[in-house]
Amino acid sequence: MLKKDRYKAFVEYFSTHNPDAQTELHYGNPYELLVAVILSAQCTDKRINQVTPALFKRFPDPESLAASNQDEVFTYIRSVSYPNNKAKHLVGMAQKLLGDFNGIVPEKVEDLVKLPGVGRKTANVISSVVYNNPSMAVDTHVFRVSNRLGLTSNATTPLAVEKQLVKYLPQETIAIAHHWLILHGRYICLARTPKCDQCPITYFCKYFEKTKKAKPIAKVASA
Check if the beta carbon of residue 38 is closer than 8 Å to that of residue 59: no
The answer to whether the annotation marks 199 as part of a ligand binding site is yes
The answer to whether the annotation marks 205 as part of a ligand binding site is yes
Averaged in consecutive runs of 10 residues, what is the pLDDT profile of the chain (223 residues)?
A: 94 97 96 97 95 98 98 98 97 98 96 97 96 95 97 94 97 96 97 95 94 54 41
The answer to whether the annotation marks 43 as part of a ligand binding site is no
What distance lies between CA 207 and its chain's CA centroid? 21
Q: What is the CATH number of the domain that holds 196?
A: 1.10.1670.10
- What range defines the domain where residue 169 resides? 3-21+137-214
Which of 139, 197, 213, 215 is the catalytic position? 139
Which of 71, 100, 121, 206 is the catalytic position? 121
Last residue of a domain, one of 131, 147, 180: 131
What's the number of domains the chain is made of? Answer: 2
Q: Would residue 86 show up in a list of annotated catalytic residues for this protein?
A: no
Burial of 26 (0-12, 13-18, 19+ CB in 10 A): middle
**Alpha helices, DSSP H only, in 59-157?**
62-66, 70-77, 83-101, 109-112, 120-131, 140-149
Residues 141 and 200 in one domain: yes
Model pLDDT, residue 21: 96
The percent of residues in the chain predicted with pLDDT above 90, rounded, is 92
Last residue of a domain, one of 72, 98, 131: 131
The answer to whether the annotation marks 189 as part of a ligand binding site is yes
Model pLDDT, residue 66: 98
